[in-house]
Structure 1
């Protein structure tokens, strides 16, 4: 009986030893990473998450997507009620046409003023010739009157003709100056009209741009996230309509201990194991290493100035990008935020 108990005890002890050995082997395989590798399980899959903002305010008239739906760049996601913006475009268009008509009228007035100057030049020249003739005639009659060859009445008539010609000439010269001033004024009005035309055209383009913003489109290829808006909801400019997960850019951010980072360099190959893809080893390479620890990017960085210092080993973010050798079907299974294990080969 005692021999049987002993035998059973040996069997039980042997089974316990085998279990301990199996557990030790399992722990050694999955916890100890021997060889020239640096391991971490503090890593996640990353993708660009692009927020889609509403660029103009208004009520949502139509929503054209569902949650977690694949979309392409340029696809319509939502439509804002656009009646107000259509009226603004019509008003800006009418104002633009009015300013353009005013510019044409001012330009016509400028052309008329230039023509008037040409006419004034011809009139001044004609009167100047007549005035010079009158002055010559006056000088001749003045000499004859001094010799008594003509009567006073003849002399006074010639003098009057000279004075009239001089006055007429002076009047036309002043009129020409007035026409020149009018032409200069119209020239300034043309410049002002051109500036107003550019301003009204800019207002028209802005109104058309705001109208186009009432149709909210996808900025990139990707998959929609949670829907943060409902039909009839009022949106302010800058409100987020939905988040898009960009399907093109994908990488891994691994946080290695500062004691490990000395053996990690750009370009080293990396084996990536994803919890959601058992049995699949993805291949990647080290793209870049952060110049700051992960804690340095926190909203409240660690401050040791008080003297109560406890040394905590910091972690450095390392960007790991997948290479083209990976199976595209397996790559499509990756989602942003998935936990991964990374082994950097050095």
Structure 2
């Protein structure tokens, strides 16, 4: 015979509690589902985006050192690679020598302005002639000083170049790429150029002494001068124009020096921002051209999410709403953000060939709108820098 069911009050009470618990759980689940479907919008068509910094060469040259590898973290200003600076150093020294020549010419032109003023006067006294002679002597001496300075600069540049030639020829003669006679000729040329530097410096000292003596004579002549000599206006204006042209030449030469300094600085390729090295495409010995891409720097401090929501999800969505972002690659780790912008057109309308629906076979397809979501606490939530551009995410927007 079947045993009679236990209908004790305790048994009935337990069954009632179980029923109540099940009903409560169903109610909570229904409430959560209702809240989620009513007050949030989410999509799995979303990815992390970020800026990409292309690092390229601003000059042409041969790479002598590379300091980074793919996926290496770098800071803004870190040295990434170096280009051989020797040619650019020589170019700078040549530009500086040309600047010295231009400055010497400008000094000569500026000195000739008062000389022209004196020589064009219609009448001078005996003491005035003495002043004129002394000024002419100073002008000539200063001209010679300027010329001597230019020769010193040119001789120093030549000596530097010949020393570099000897340095370059040394390994070549050891490898029999060039003859010993060629190497000896380069050594002799370097010695001759160094001797020319000494000779030019001696001449400069002598000319500077001549200037000092001429200045003493001018001081004596001025002390006894009885009349001032007036200039011929047209001659003075012409000489002033030449002086202005000489000053312009100095500015041009200075600009070339500045450009040479810039080119020399470009031999050190620096990181434009803090981030991760990617797509490194440079090695030691490579000959670079101007504008050639070397690598990409991906900054990890300026990331955002591009989420493609269905147009039916945008009714209550607007800028400023809070977003919870789950990252698939990080085991569903949550980040926090805010709706920054809602796209101005659908993805299909922005495609290269937008759809044309002029035929009678039109089928309505729900379109997707790109929405930009900015992270609000990225520095702390991504302190380990594991979040990278391209990761798939699930953003959940609170639209309540």
TM-score by length of 1: 0.70
Residue 239 of structure 1, aligned match among 292, 297, 308? 292
Residue 188 of structure 1, aligned match among 232, 241, 246? 241
Supply the distance in 2 between the matched residues of 1:294 and 1:341 (Cα, whole angstroms). Answer: 18
User: Is the partner of 2:52 in helix, strand or coil?
Assistant: strand
Further displaced range: 93-102 or 44-53: 44-53
Count of equivalent residues: 264
Aligned to 2:356: 304
Supply the distance in 1 between the matched residues of 2:74 and 2:383 (Cα, whole angstroms). Answer: 21
Q: Aligned ranges for residues 142-157 of structure 1 at < 5 Å?
A: none
Supply the distance in 2 between the matched residues of 1:109 and 1:295 (Cα, whole angstroms). Answer: 75
Q: 1:203 Cα deviation (Å)? A: 1.2
Distance of aligned partners of 1:272 and 1:183 in 2 relative to their CA distance in 1, 3 Å threshold:
same
In terms of Rg, which structure is larger? Answer: 1
Is 1:230 matched with 2:232? no
Distance of aligned partners of 1:259 and 1:190 in 2 relative to their CA distance in 1, 3 Å threshold:
same
Aligned to 2:369: 316
Check whether the contact 1:38–1:343 (CA below 8 A) recurs between aligned residues.
yes
Supply the distance in 2 between the matched residues of 1:84 and 1:279 (Cα, whole angstroms). Answer: 55
Is 1:273 matched with 2:276? no
Supply the distance in 2 between the matched residues of 1:215 and 1:341 (Cα, whole angstroms). Answer: 42
Q: 1:237 Cα deviation (Å)? A: 1.1
Supply the distance in 1 between the matched residues of 2:347 and 2:83 (Cα, whole angstroms). Answer: 41
Distance of aligned partners of 1:310 and 1:58 in 2 relative to their CA distance in 1, 3 Å threshold:
farther
Q: 1:33 Cα deviation (Å)? A: 5.1
Aligned to 1:40: 43
Aligned to 1:57: 60
Residue 214 of structure 1, aligned match among 237, 244, 267? 267
Q: 1:198 Cα deviation (Å)? A: 1.1
Supply the distance in 1 between the matched residues of 2:76 and 2:238 (Cα, whole angstroms). Answer: 53
Further displaced range: 276-285 or 237-246: 276-285
Q: 1:296 Cα deviation (Å)? A: 4.1
Distance of aligned partners of 1:73 and 1:41 in 2 relative to their CA distance in 1, 3 Å threshold:
same
Is 1:75 matched with 2:128? no
Distance of aligned partners of 1:109 and 1:310 in 2 relative to their CA distance in 1, 3 Å threshold:
farther
Gaps in structure 2 of 5+ consecutive residues = 1-31, 129-229
Gaps in structure 1 of 5+ consecutive residues = 1-28, 127-175
Structure whose residues are more often strand by fraction? 1
Distance of aligned partners of 1:325 and 1:103 in 2 relative to their CA distance in 1, 3 Å threshold:
closer
Residue 335 of structure 1, aligned match among 388, 392, 398? 388
Aligned to 1:248: 301
Aligned to 1:203: 256
Q: 1:218 Cα deviation (Å)? A: 0.2
Check whether the contact 2:65–2:83 (CA below 8 A) recurs between aligned residues.
yes
Q: 1:281 Cα deviation (Å)? A: 2.3
Supply the distance in 2 between the matched residues of 1:295 and 1:114 (Cα, whole angstroms). Answer: 79
Q: 1:185 Cα deviation (Å)? A: 2.0
Supply the distance in 2 between the matched residues of 1:254 and 1:121 (Cα, whole angstroms). Answer: 91
Supply the distance in 2 between the matched residues of 1:343 and 1:49 (Cα, whole angstroms). Answer: 26
Distance of aligned partners of 1:311 and 1:202 in 2 relative to their CA distance in 1, 3 Å threshold:
farther
Q: 1:81 Cα deviation (Å)? A: 1.6
Residue 101 of structure 1, aligned match among 92, 101, 104? 104
Aligned to 1:345: 398
Q: 1:182 Cα deviation (Å)? A: 3.0
Check whether the contact 1:282–1:326 (CA below 8 A) recurs between aligned residues.
no
Check whether the contact 2:92–2:261 (CA below 8 A) recurs between aligned residues.
yes
Q: 1:61 Cα deviation (Å)? A: 1.2
Q: Deviations over 1:91-134 (max 9, x none)?
A: 111111100100000111112112334x53546xx9xxxxxxxx
Check whether the contact 2:301–2:378 (CA below 8 A) recurs between aligned residues.
no
Q: 1:303 Cα deviation (Å)? A: 4.5
Distance of aligned partners of 1:273 and 1:112 in 2 relative to their CA distance in 1, 3 Å threshold:
same
